[in-house]
Amino acid sequence: MRAQPALVLALPTGRTPIPFYRYLAAIHRKKRVDFSRVTTFNLDEFVGLAPSDPRSYRAYMQRHLFDHVNLSPRRIHFLNGIASDVEAECRRYERAIARAGGVDLMILGLGRNGHVGFNEPARFLMARTHLTRLAAATRQANRALFGSRVADVPRSALSIGIGTILGARRIVLMATGAGKSRCVERMVNGPVTPELPASFLQLHAAVDLWLDGAAARLLRGARRLPEVGAAAQSRCGR
């Protein structure tokens, strides 16, 4: 942000980025970063939840980041989970990303089943922003936002597509904890397959993985990774 004040960021939710958002808020408080010209797009939102619903991803972002930095509200972009015309909403989002000049830096989390955004493992993936059905494992993983009641977790969501992700100029994927290690290993060394949507990151030339030791534990010889796929350079686990 210091080098490029009008940065266009794409942002994830989940437990993993919470310390990152706390860090951004802290360096903003110390006046070391200015968000006033930054634009943000979030990756996804539950269908059926209004932005004001405390269980929505919009509310999550408000709590963890937006309330603590000087982002201009008109530069914050979100998918509307209660849009009456879902297809028009998805098209609107793609147009907004294009109008912003594309995403400079896409920050991703990693689902335990290998999803990115809400691009779930499937026989095929959607390139652009779309309506998606959530996997049972994903609804389980998101239950904390819903008072631990899985039955209350929406069955569908809106998500940017895998093409939208690969269209970003740079990508950072964050993963922490041993529960993600198998997925991390398959994402880096396995085949590119819609059964593990994160494996598509191997097709991008500028990806950084931010992993803790537990998530990186199956990446033996991380320094050799550029031979496997230039996209998959792990800076962790060394």
Residues that bind ligand GLP (CB under 6 A): 12-16, 43-44, 109-111, 117-118, 138, 141-142
Nearer to ligand GLP, 15 or 220 (CB): 15
44 flagged as catalytic: yes
DSSP code string of the chain: --S-TT-EEEE--SSTTHHHHHHHHHHHHTTS---TT-EEEESEEETT--TTSTTSHHHHHHHHTGGGS---GGGEE---TT-SSHHHHHHHHHHHHHHTTS-SEEEE---TTS-BTTB-S-SS--SSSEEEEPPHHHHHHTGGGGTT-GGGS-SEEEE--HHHHHTSSEEEEEE-SGGGHHHHHHHHHS---TTSGGGGGGG-SSEEEEE-TTTTTT-TTGGGHHHH-TT-EE-S--
How far is Cα 38 from Cα 1, in angstroms, rounded to an integer? Answer: 8
**Of the listed 28, 115, 130, 204, which one is catalytic?**
115
The CB-of-121 to ligand GLP minimum distance in angstroms stands at 12
Q: Choose, from 113, 119, 142, 204, the residue flagged as catalytic.
A: 113
Any catalytic annotation for residue 120?
Answer: yes
Nearer to ligand GLP, 118 or 210 (CB): 118
Our CB check for ligand GLP shows the closer of 12 and 229 to be 12
In the complex, the smallest distance separating the C-beta of residue 159 from ligand GLP, rounded to whole angstroms, is 7
For the question of residue 89 being annotated catalytic, the response is no
In the complex, least distance from residue 54 CB atom to ligand GLP, rounded to whole angstroms: 17
List the catalytic residue out of 28, 44, 119, 142: 44
74 vs 149, beta carbon nearer ligand GLP: 149
Least Å distance between CB 115 and ligand GLP?
6
Question: Is 87 assigned a catalytic role?
Answer: no
Q: What is the chain's length?
A: 238
Q: Chain centroid to CA 39: how far?
A: 15
> Which of 45, 89, 94, 120 is the catalytic position?
120
Query: How far apart are CB 110 and ligand GLP at their closest, in Å?
Result: 6
Nearer to ligand GLP (CB atom), residue 24 or residue 43: 43
Active site residues: 44, 113, 115, 120
